[in-house]
Amino acid sequence: MNGQQIRERIDANNKKIRTALNKFVLTDEINNLMRENEELRSICQHDFEDGFCKYCDIPVDFAEGFND
Ligand SMILES: [Zn+2]
């Protein structure tokens, strides 16, 4: 393996590492956003239109299941 090949290999590895890190951050961010949505749904005074709450998008069946 010559210097150029090592350079390419390290660049490729770093790219994969950055991608993995970005995905991790993104996953974390998405988890936080989804958790926040669940919290918002739990405090929402649902108002259903066509089977979904017009404020928080929760399906009417799902919300009824929660209340049981
Ligand atoms: Zn709602």
pLDDT digits (tens, 9 = 90+) for 5-32: 999 999 999 999 999 888 888 888 888 9
Q: Residue 31 Cα, ligand 1 centroid: separation in angstroms? A: 20
Measured in angstroms, how far is the CA atom of residue 27 from the centroid of ligand 1? 25
pLDDT at 62: 83
Distance 56 CA to ligand 1 centre (A): 4
Mean pLDDT estimate for the chain? 90
Burial of 30 (0-12, 13-18, 19+ CB in 10 A): exposed
The pLDDT value recorded for residue 21 is: 87
From residue 52, alpha-carbon distances to 5, 60, 65 in Å are 56, 5, 14
Residue 65 has pLDDT above 70, yes or no: no
Domain boundaries, the chain: 3-67
Tokens 């974390």 map to which residue? 28
Mean pLDDT score, 26-45: 92
Q: How far, in Å, from the CA of 23 to the mean position of ligand 1?
A: 30
